């Protein structure tokens, strides 16, 4: 299924574009934006625009979508840079397959033709390992299907070369890595839904040695984290059976003891440990069917302060990043069942704006942060071979496709500031919303507004009353 979006090809070179020209240009991209008449009903919106009329959401240009056709049947994305140039490459993989595909990054958010690369195992997760200068030395990997853990590098053609590996007794999924105290080598934290407890693996004399931290149960997620102010690395892990988050404190000798548990009422779909409000304490961000919850960290890791976000769709997983470049971390989530990608932009260190629905496509399987030269955004992949890059609009010199609507039905241009720069409003049939995108003095979409409408509304008319009044 093709994502719903609308294209603005070289539209804003001429700031005063007629509505008829706009509709003609938009007709090049499906679904076609059009005016629909049913029984001659006409909905007329008379709106007084001001900064207090509606809740303004600063998108700051984050609405550009670049789509690519890639081999289908691949569910995961991994960003890396095998050829060490200025552009991020992507690895497409499926934990059930040894075959993967490499896309070499190119200028202007482009990729080379997908190249088939065979692994000696079925990769489940890949994790970069950094040196003391924060340069990537190599990558750690797990293979659930092959019951393997190890390290590898990529050669200049993008082919994997295994450095060390070990066969495990159980099925590993999740990896984390840290340099624990009194150890010059990295320690690898291993967990998984079908893995026995939690293990720490270390490379000693070119062989991995496993230390079992907890056994007899399963953790779908485990991560190293500083839980208190002693600058010693601890562990946070989510137990599948009792739906509890375990806090394992390091006693200073790299022995981890369960300090406390935090039990959840909801079934957790995804879990992230990240300092989202920038106060130096790790926060807990988790998603469940009805929404997202953020538990804010503190010196005693009590997580007493929290915020809950009700979402319009089930949240399967999410990506964290400062997507609108305002200094605050935002959330970008996807619903696999509905094929929806939506954004929750941060309003402050502890709150978020209302949801902004970006696009609808076929079944999304993963979304990740994506960074490349002059690009800060997110990448997603679908089961049927659609790769999408959401990023910032820098200019309208070339054809630009925007994604800010699920099912755009009609669009109208208006000049909010009467400065010769056209803003636009969209009727979204799916969400039954009238959406406004206001552009700044550089012509970049800067603010997003939306209002709900009811009934069958078939035409949009704008009246210009004067300065900032429509």
Any idea of the CA torsion for 401, 402, 406, 411, to the nearest 10 degrees? -100
The secondary element (H helix, E strand) that includes residue 427 is strand 423-428
End-to-end CA distance of the chain: give it in Å, rounded: 36
Count of domains for the chain: 2
**Distance between CA atoms of 106 and 157, rounded to whole angstroms?**
15
Q: Which residues of 17-31 are buried (b: 16+ CB within 10 A; e: fewer)?
A: bebeebbebbeebee
Q: Is residue 32 domain-shared with residue 93, that is, in the same domain?
A: no
Please list the pLDDT of the chain residue by residue as tens digits (470 residues): 444 455 554 444 333 343 443 433 333 344 445 443 333 334 444 454 444 456 789 999 999 999 999 999 999 999 999 999 999 999 999 999 999 999 999 999 999 999 999 999 999 999 999 998 899 999 999 999 999 999 999 999 999 999 999 999 999 999 999 999 776 789 999 999 999 999 999 999 999 999 999 999 999 999 999 988 788 999 999 999 999 999 999 998 999 999 999 999 888 999 999 999 999 999 999 999 889 999 999 999 999 999 999 999 999 999 999 999 999 999 999 999 999 999 999 999 999 999 999 999 988 999 999 999 989 999 999 999 999 999 999 877 667 888 988 878 888 888 888 888 889 888 887 778 889 999 999 999 999 988 887 666 556 555 555 555 55
Give the pLDDT score at 47. 52
279 plus 318 within the same structural domain: yes
Any domain includes 295 = yes
Distance of CA 369 to the CA centre of its chain: 5
C-alpha dihedral sign at 437, 441, 443, 446: negative
Residue 237 and residue 325 share a domain:
yes
Rounded to a whole number of angstroms, the CA Rg of the chain reads: 24
Confidence (pLDDT) at 212:
97
- 8 A C-beta contact, residue 438 and residue 421: no
Determine the pLDDT at residue 418. 83
The residue from 393, 420, 436 where one domain ends is: 393
Residue 283 inside a domain? The answer is yes
**Residue 211, pLDDT score:** 96
**Residues 334 and 428 grouped into a single domain:** no
User: What per-residue confidence (pLDDT) applies to 55?
Assistant: 76
- Please state whether beta strands 330-335 and 57-58 pair in parallel, antiparallel, or not at all (unpaired): unpaired
In a domain, 457, yes or no: no
Does residue 267 sit in the same domain as residue 126?
A: yes
How far, CA to CA in Å, does 130 sit from each of 61, 133, 176, 177? 32, 8, 12, 9
Q: Do 233 and 276 have their domain in common?
A: yes
In this prediction, residue 11 carries a pLDDT of: 43
Handedness of CA 210, 214, 215, 217 (dihedral sign): negative
51 and 138 in a single domain? The answer is no
Residues 9, 10, 16, CA angle at the centre, nearest 5°?
115
For residue 54, the model assigns a pLDDT of: 61
Instruction: Assess whether 54 and 113 both reside in one domain.
Output: no
Backbone angles phi, psi at 22, to 5 degrees: -60, -45
Eight-state DSSP code of residue 171: B
What's the pLDDT score for residue 228?
A: 81
Do 46 and 434 form a contact (C-beta atoms < 8 A)? no
Asked, as a colleague might, if the bond just before 31 is cis with ω within 30 of 0, I would say: yes
Is the residue at 400 inside a domain?
no
Query: Which CATH number belongs to the domain containing residue 288 in this structure?
Result: 2.130.10.10
Q: What's the confidence (pLDDT) of residue 459? A: 60
Is 459 inside a domain boundary?
no
Query: What is the residue range of 109's domain?
Result: 71-393
pLDDT of residue 192: 98
Instruction: Supply the DSSP string of 57-123, one letter for each residue.
Output: EE-TTEEEEEEEE--SS--EEEEE-TT-SSS-EEEEE-TT-SEEEEE-EETTTEEPPPEEEE-SS--
CB 136 within 8 A of CB 60: no
Report residue 58: phi and psi, to 5°: -80, 105
Helix (H, G, I), strand (E, B) or coil at 335: strand
Q: What is the pTM of this model?
A: 0.87
| 426 and 377 together in one domain | no
The answer on 232 and 176 residing in a single domain is: yes
Does some domain include residue 66? no
User: Is 188 within a domain?
Assistant: yes
Q: Please check whether residues 295 and 432 belong to one and the same domain.
A: no
Bridge partners, 284 (sequence order)? 273, 295
As a whole number of angstroms, the distance between CA 420 and CA 16 comes to: 6
Helices vs. strands in the chain: H and E counts, helices first: 1, 37
DSSP 312: S
**DSSP secondary structure string, 385-400?**
SEEEEEEE----SSEE
Residue 469 lies in a domain: no
CA-based max dimension of the chain: 80
Q: Count Cβ atoms within 10 A of the Cβ of residue 78 and give its class: 0-12 exposed, 13-18 middle, 19 or more buried.
A: buried
Give the residue from 296, 400, 449 showing the smallest Cα distance to 5.
400
E strands, 108-195, are 110-111, 115-118, 125-130, 136-143, 148-154, 160-167, 174-178, 187-191
Q: Are residues 46 and 123 in the same domain?
A: no
């Amino acid at each position: 299924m093709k994502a719903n979006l609308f294209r603005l090809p070289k539209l804003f070179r001429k700031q005063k574009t007629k509505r008829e020209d706009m509709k003609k240009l938009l007709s090049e991209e499906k679904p076609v934006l059009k005016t629909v008449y049913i029984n001659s009903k006409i909905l007329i919106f008379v709106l007084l625009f001001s900064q207090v009329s509606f809740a303004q959401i600063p998108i700051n240009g984050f609405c550009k979508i670049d789509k690519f056709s890639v081999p289908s049947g691949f569910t995961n994305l991994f960003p890396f840079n095998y050829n060490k140039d200025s552009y991020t490459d992507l690895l497409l993989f499926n934990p059930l397959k040894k075959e993967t595909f490499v896309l070499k990054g190119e200028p202007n958010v482009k990729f080379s033709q997908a190249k088939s690369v065979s692994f000696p195992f079925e990769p489940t997760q890949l994790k970069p390992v950094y040196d003391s200068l924060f340069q990537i030395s190599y990558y750690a990997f797990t293979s659930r299907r092959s019951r393997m853990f190890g390290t590898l590098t990529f050669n200049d053609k993008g082919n994997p070369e295994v450095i060390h590996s070990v066969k495990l007794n159980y099925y590993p999924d999740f990896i984390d890595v840290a340099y624990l105290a009194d150890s010059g080598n990295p320690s690898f934290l291993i967990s998984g839904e079908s893995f026995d407890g939690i293990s720490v693996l270390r490379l000693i004399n070119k062989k991995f040695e496993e230390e079992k931290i907890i056994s007899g149960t399963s953790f779908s997620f485990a991560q190293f984290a500083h839980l208190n102010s002693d600058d010693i690395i601890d562990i946070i892990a989510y137990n599948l059976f009792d739906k509890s988050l375990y806090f394992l404190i390091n006693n200073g000798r790299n022995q981890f003891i369960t300090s406390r548990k935090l039990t959840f009422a909801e079934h957790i779909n995804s879990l992230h440990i990240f300092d989202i409000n920038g106060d130096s304490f790790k926060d807990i961000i988790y998603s469940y069917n009805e929404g997202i919850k953020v538990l804010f960290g503190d010196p005693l890791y009590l997580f007493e302060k929290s915020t809950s976000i009700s979402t319009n769709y089930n949240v399967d997983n999410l990506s964290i990043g400062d997507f609108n470049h305002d200094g605050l971390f935002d959330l970008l989530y996807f619903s696999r069942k509905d094929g929806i990608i939506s954004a929750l932009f941060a309003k402050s260190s502890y709150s978020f704006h209302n949801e902004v629905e970006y696009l609808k496509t076929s079944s999304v399987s993963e979304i990740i942060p994506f960074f490349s030269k002059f690009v800060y955004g997110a990448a997603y992949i679908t089961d049927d071979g659609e790769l999408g890059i959401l990023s910032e609009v820098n200019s309208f010199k070339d054809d630009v496709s925007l994604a800010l609507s699920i099912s755009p039905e009609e669009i109208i241009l208006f000049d909010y500031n009467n400065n010769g720069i056209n803003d636009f409003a969209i009727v979204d049939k799916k969400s039954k919303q009238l959406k406004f995108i206001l552009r700044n003095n550089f012509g970049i979409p800067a603010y997003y507004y939306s209002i709900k409408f009811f009934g069958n509304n078939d035409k949009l008319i704008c009246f210009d009353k004067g300065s900032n009044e429509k």
